[in-house]
Structure formats: structure tokens, C-alpha cells
Chain A
Amino acid sequence: MAETEASYSRDGVLYYRHRLPVRIMHWINVVCLTILFMSGLNIFNAHPALNWGKSSYDGKEPLLEIGAKMSGERIIGVTRIAGHEFDTTDKLGVFYDAAGEANQRAFPTWITVPSTQWLAMAREWHFFFAWLFVINGICYVAWSVFSRHLARDLAPTKQDWRGIGRSIVDHLKFKHPQGEEAKRYNVLQKLAYLAVIFVLLPLVILMGLAMSPWLDGVLPGWVDLVGGRQAARTLHFIAAWLLVGFVLIHVFEVIVSGLWNHMRSMITGNYRVRLEADHE
């Protein structure tokens, strides 16, 4: 968020918020995470169950299982979570098409890549974009350290920590900083970004690597530190959905605090800040 050229307009000040590397890496990330999530669900569909432990067959019930069963004459989709069973027909497990034909698959076609159930191809998509995502992530972290983006824009200040209570209240009221304050990330925003960059994304990558039988041999036994290969698969799945949760909140905040302004700043770099004396 280097503040370089500022130009004045009737509505406030346009200032240079996002530098070019951030903008490029942000959009690469959008593409990668979308493809990774959707191809990941296609891969999940090949064995739609999650276990905790070293193997899937250790005598314990799966934590989550999506399947189908007969209910009278009709086949229905069922989702079992920790022993509780839910009818999820047309949501998960079984989908009826316009002709009344039942199609069995855990996650629906509109959320997977490819949309047809195609494990071999989904893996190709997943591994290609995984590499793109990892390389992009390494570039981002390296750039953020050397350009001081991390220290200047992302690290919470003492003042930030003191204002955390107010920031929570402001967020709950959908009240967003104006004027000079709007030029900086707020403390909750900083913490959310740091948690994603340094906790959630490394976790999802590491748990992906833990699922590779070849990489398990790097240091035999390392996968047991997180509970075993099937536990790693479960954590990979949970982390992926937490990332979806982050994206939903992120997009929501973008919309309520000025969609076009944010879109412009992530495309051209320029963000408009209203002056204190402005209306509203």
C-alpha cells in the first residue's frame, strides 16, 4: 500500500493502494484456489468418506461419509456425520435430473472440475495448479518480506492491538473506516490475512504432501505426527473448506465496503478514499 501519486477528484482522493506484484499474484491465486478446490472435490468424489488415523479400514466409522441408499422404491442421497445420518438428496450423494433419473455422486457436477466424475483428469488439474499455487505463494511471501509489505501493511501495530475491541464492534455493524483510516488494513483484516497466509495455506499444502505415498518416505513416520495419512486427508479437506469460508467473508466485506472501489484497486492499484468532511 505504497502511497505515491495522489490525485484529487470530487469524491475524494485516489491513492495507489496495491502494487503490481500484489495485484498479479492475487488474481493468480484466485484462479489456482478455484481450480484446486473444484478438482479437489472431484478427487474426493472417488472415495467420498473421511477417516481419522493411518488407514481407512481400522474398524472405526468414518467421520464423514456421503453415499446413497434405498428408501422404499426410491434411491436417496445420505450424508453421515459422526454417526448422524441426513437425507441430502439433490444436495449431496444422489441427484435427480429433469428426466427423473438418479445420478450418484457425492458433490454435484456444478462444483467439480471436470464436471463429469473423472478422477484421472481431476488429478492432472489438481497437481498442475498446485504447483502454480505453490510457486505463486513462495513468490508472494518472498516479495512481501523484501518489499516490506509484510512489515508495513500486514503486521499489526501496537495501536492495532489496542483497537481490536472497537474493530470487532465496527465489523459487526458493517461500519468501515473512512478517510486516512481507510488507507490501512484494519486489525481484523490483518489477522485474517496472516492466518490464511501463514497457517491455513501451509497446512493445506503440507497435508496434500502427506497424502503422497512417495513423500511419506522422506522421513518414515512423519505423517503420524498429524495422525496418519487418512487424518491428513481429513485435515486437507477441512482446511480447503476453511479457505472457502475465508473467501466468502472476504468477498462479503469487499461488497459491503465498496465493490467497485476494491475491484479497481485490485486491477489498477488505485483506491479512492473519501475525505473526512465528505458526506455520509
Chain B
Amino acid sequence: MNDNPKLSRRQLLLRGLGLASGAASGTLLAGCEKLSRTEWFPKILGAGESVNKAIHKTLIRKAMAQEFTPADLSPSFRSNGTDVPENPEYAKLAQNQFADWKLKVDGLVEQPGEYSLAQLREMPSRTQITRHDCVEGWSAIAKWKGVRLAALLESIKPKPEARFVVFHCADPMEANGASLYYESIDMDDAFHVQTLLAYELNDRTLPVANGAPIRLRVERQLGYKHAKYIMRMEVVDSFAKIAGGKGGYWEDQGYDWYAGV
């Protein structure tokens, strides 16, 4: 290895140091990769996000998300994830401009039922210009109009044991049509003033690419919480028995249920 007999002590030292730090970083990388794939270590790491959630929920449970002006609107609102759900049942509804679509509401409620798009449009609405933050890191600003989820909940009357609202969607996440997208939020977020079932984007009917006929707006949380193509709303006391049990499609893939960071 030492082909230069005149290599000084310092050079040898530095060369050794280089090798040592190379070996150390190799070990570090392999170690981190291995730890990530264990059962126990990610649970310890999860403490970080648990602390975030506990602090955020305690200190600023009901704060409003920032709202913007028309000057801040993104020229076009990016469609992410599913553009067109590959679901024959959905395709049929879309063909008819969702005239036959009905939002099913059930679970722990006094008044289960079905709501047409026209009925939802008649309920108390809110319009807001907000920033959509994707877990990947990008943001886009758009204007949303929709029925206030709190108003809908007041008419369906959740039972006292209700803890979460689960949104069952039409978009399959696997090529064979399986794994329909779903998401869940807690009652605090469900009753938040800015939480909407949006049916308009930038003053126009919500396009299919962005979740027609309705999508969730749950401001202050990352994009994957904002379920698109909502078909059914279920009020539950636990989501442990739904799909992967983590409360959402991406949560089942390892993302955090609390998406405020």
C-alpha cells in the first residue's frame, strides 16, 4: 500500500484518518439503514413526532391557518397522487357530472344518511385562500370553497364516543384496483372553522384531477391528509380495524398520522 517510502508521518496519519473516516461513515450508513428496517428502532424515532403532536395539540389546538390574497394564487394548482381514479364505479359517476353521486355518512352518528352534491352546496360554506404543503416539500396556493365540515357534523350529530372522522375515497392505490385511499382526522380538526369538504377550486367546479366531486381541506396539515374523491364519511372511535389500522393509506405505508410538521 505504501508505495512512497518518503511518505511523511503526517501524510500517513492523514491517509489513515481518511481511511478511518471512510470506514466510519460506511458503518454509520449501513447501521442507519439496518436500524430503519428493524421493528423496534423506528418506534423510538417515532417519539420525535409524538412530542411534536403533543406540543402542537396542547399549545395551539385551535389556531387558524394563514390565509392569502388572490395575488398569491399559484398559476395552476398542481394535481398530485391520483389524476383520474381507475375505478369503473367512479368513472360512471364522473361521466354524469356526479349527478348520481351521494356522500354516504355513517358510523357513530345519530343521523346517518346520504347527501347529494346539490344538498351539500346548500349547506353553510366557507371560501378560503390557503397554502397546500406536500410532505415532499413543495407548496401551492389556491382558493377553495366548500361545505364546512362542522356544519355537516352538526346535522348528523356524532355520538359522544365519536373520536375520528374517516374518509373513504374512490381512488385505488394499486394497479389492480385494490387499496382504496382513505384518511382520518380527529374531532378537533373536524370541527375546525377552516376544515371543508371542498367542491370548488379557484372559483370553478373542483376538477377530477384535484378530487371531484369533493375533497377534504384540513388546513395546518400536510397534503396527504386532504383526501380526494370522497365517497363515504364514517365516524368512529378507533381506526385500528380499518385497512392497515394506522388511520390512512400513507400512514399504513409508514407516514405519521399527525401531519402538522
Q: Given that A34-B28, A54-B131 are contacting pairs, would A127 and B260 also be in contact in the complex, using a CB cutoff of 8 Å?
A: no
State the CA gap A35–B29 with chains docked (Å).
Answer: 10
Q: Does A123 contact B (CB under 8 A)?
A: yes
Asked if B83 CB lies within 8 Å of chain A CBs, one says no
B-binding residues in A (CB < 8 A)? 34-35, 38, 43-44, 46-47, 49, 54-59, 109-110, 113-116, 118-121, 123-131, 211-218, 220-221, 223-224, 229-230, 233, 255, 259
Q: Do residues B65 and A220 form an inter-chain contact, with CB atoms below 8 A?
A: yes
Min C-beta distance of B38 to chain A, whole Å: 11
How far apart are the CA atoms of A187 and B221 in the complex, in Å? 46
B-chain residues with CB within 8 Å of residue A49 when the two chains form the complex? 138
B23: shortest Cβ distance to chain A, in Å? 13
Question: Does B152 reach chain A (CB closer than 8 Å)?
Answer: no
Chain A to chain B contacts (Cβ below 8 Å), 8 pairs: A54-B141, A57-B138, A116-B33, A121-B42, A214-B56, A217-B220, A221-B66, A230-B138
The distance from the CB of A241 to the nearest CB of chain B, in whole angstroms, is: 16
Q: Which of B76, B138, B220 has the most chain A CB within a 10 Å cutoff?
A: B138
Q: Which residues of A contact B115 (CB under 8 A)?
A: none
A218 CB to closest chain B CB, in angstroms? 6
A230 to B260, CA, bound (A): 16
Task: Name the distance in Å between B11's Cβ and chain A's nearest Cβ.
Answer: 12
Whose C-beta in chain A lies nearest to the C-beta of B26? A110
Residue pair B66, A217 in contact (C-beta under 8 Å): yes
Contact partners of B141 in chain A: CB under 8 A: 54-55, 57-58
Which of chain B's residues have a CB closer than 8 A to the CB of A127? 45, 48-49, 52, 261
CA separation between A36 and B1, bound complex, in Å?
Answer: 35
Ranked nearest first, the 3 interchain pairs of A and B with the lowest CB-CB distance are A214-B260, A127-B48, A128-B48
- B25-69, CB under 8 A of A: which get 1 and which 0? 100110011001000001011111101100010011001111110
B29:A115 contact, CB within 8 angstroms: yes
Complex interface: chain B residues within 8 A of A213 (CB): 65, 131, 133, 219-222, 260-261
Given that A114-B32, A118-B36, A120-B255 are contacting pairs, would A215 and B48 also be in contact in the complex, using a CB cutoff of 8 Å? no
